[in-house]
Structure 1
């Protein structure tokens, strides 16, 4: 009578599947070993037929896939992999601007805990607030996304069922969520208005279940740059997490970040992050 949900930015589904060496067997091997019932994926970066081809062994083993590709080829894309039968699937959140860009998908699932809606989110990274045209455009895009998506989350929180939104939020909510927070005060993902947006969600019916389960810990981080010694030094960001509504958050009993044992065992620059609900 438990439910394990994992969220992971796969950093390109085809690359994650092919990322193999003598020691690293990629995403498919991870799925084989995983105890997850549902895996929420981001940055699939493929059309659905390409994703299904890459995931064919897992789909043959009984996993079901629902996904939303981006109209921009090779960009974004979100999906739900489930060992449980998927019910109704909804793509996007009612935004003409963002729904075609592979940023959000939700699916209804019947679980041992009762009717549940699971959703995968890939929130735009944005940019620092500068005068450069490119930065201004990315900064403004993220603001528009936060405004529109925040309204949808308000609706989701009121559903009379369990709801969880997992994904790459591209926002570290607080200082313990970045190793070098002092050096990132002006970085996208840690800007004041972004952190305030998350704080407002946590005051309006949502719970950051991993943080609630470990309120006094730094991290654990879920993303590390490929460059330098960021991974080896655990100099990361906690930007992948699950927000659950009150009914499901009350059932959260364990949270785990599946950090690779070594740099060359990684098949993404993000680590899968799981929550057990019981």
Structure 2
């Protein structure tokens, strides 16, 4: 069984202070995909680089205290690469990929546009670059059989069942028609699979992975499902279970773990 966990940590040091490391040790994941690590290489302590049972690989934003992605791996990868060949967003540390013999796992942190129109336009530019990058991987899958699992915070809720207050967010970043249509194209036209929805097509409140820090969003479960495993069809068909961990809060996101009947 292959276990992959994804979590936007909203600051890796903060998440570790809140107990992330012992939880990770208890989960025995094979790969942990991290987003929004908010740390530079010089500030990574040994416990962050090498928590028990894992080796860590990170891709940092140029801007301090901002963005960044990482991977914890129980089994060393044959190769680790970063970025998608776009300087504007590679400088923000948004993509890291690990390759094994017949499988690649990606940790991706897509931009948020919630701070204003400037960042929303940047988000659209990112999507314009990200779609061809995804298409290249899908073509590789069809040509060679290499499977891909792209985990992370995509900052898009796809359908009305993916957030509590969908009517009130129709004009807000993360649930805009253009963003949702883009994700529909990735899934329906390109052929990628939303693995959680494949396993749980109708789940609503239990599917949420992010809650605003405003008001009583967590207490009232006014959440969004914006964290995903998006996979090529072969490995997606091997998914057997999905879990969203909410007993402890390491971040404003919850860890999403999916088990695949698959060997690396």
Aligned partner of 1:150 among 126, 131, 152: 131
The alpha-carbon deviation at position 49 of structure 1 amounts to: 3.8
Contact 2:25 2:53 in 1 (8 A): no
Report the Cα distance in structure 2 between the residues aligned to 1:102 and 1:93, rounded to whole angstroms. Answer: 10
Residues 210 and 60 of structure 1: CA distance in aligned 2, closer, same or farther (over 3 Å): closer
TM-score, normalised to structure 1, is: 0.88
Residue of structure 1 equivalent to 2:33: 40
Residue of structure 1 equivalent to 2:3: 4
Residue of structure 2 equivalent to 1:232: 219
How many residues of Structure 1 are paired with residues of Structure 2 in the alignment?
A: 255
- Aligned to 1:74, the other structure's residue is in SS state coil
The CA RMSD measured in Å over matched residues stands at 1.4
Contact 2:21 2:51 in 1 (8 A): no
Residue of structure 2 equivalent to 1:15: 14
The alpha-carbon deviation at position 66 of structure 1 amounts to: 1.2
Residues 137 and 227 of structure 1: CA distance in aligned 2, closer, same or farther (over 3 Å): closer
- Aligned to 2:224, the other structure's residue is in SS state coil
Aligned partner of 1:85 among 76, 80, 98: 76
- Aligned to 2:84, the other structure's residue is in SS state coil
Report the Cα distance in structure 1 between the residues aligned to 2:139 and 2:255, rounded to whole angstroms. Answer: 28
Residue of structure 2 equivalent to 1:139: 120
Residue of structure 2 equivalent to 1:131: none
The alpha-carbon deviation at position 62 of structure 1 amounts to: 3.1
Report the Cα distance in structure 2 between the residues aligned to 1:48 and 1:152, rounded to whole angstroms. Answer: 26
Residue of structure 2 equivalent to 1:124: 111
Residue of structure 2 equivalent to 1:272: 255
Contact 1:13 1:54 in 2 (8 A): no
TM-score, normalised to structure 2, is: 0.93
* Ranges in structure 2 where 5+ consecutive residues have no aligned partner: none
Report the Cα distance in structure 1 between the residues aligned to 2:5 and 2:151, rounded to whole angstroms. Answer: 8
Contact 2:208 2:226 in 1 (8 A): yes
The alpha-carbon deviation at position 228 of structure 1 amounts to: 2.2
Residue 63 of structure 1 pairs with residue 48 of structure 2: no
The alpha-carbon deviation at position 97 of structure 1 amounts to: 1.1
Report the Cα distance in structure 2 between the residues aligned to 1:237 and 1:195, rounded to whole angstroms. Answer: 14
Once the two structures are overlaid, the 10-residue window that deviates more, 80-89 or 224-233, is 224-233
Contact 2:162 2:225 in 1 (8 A): yes
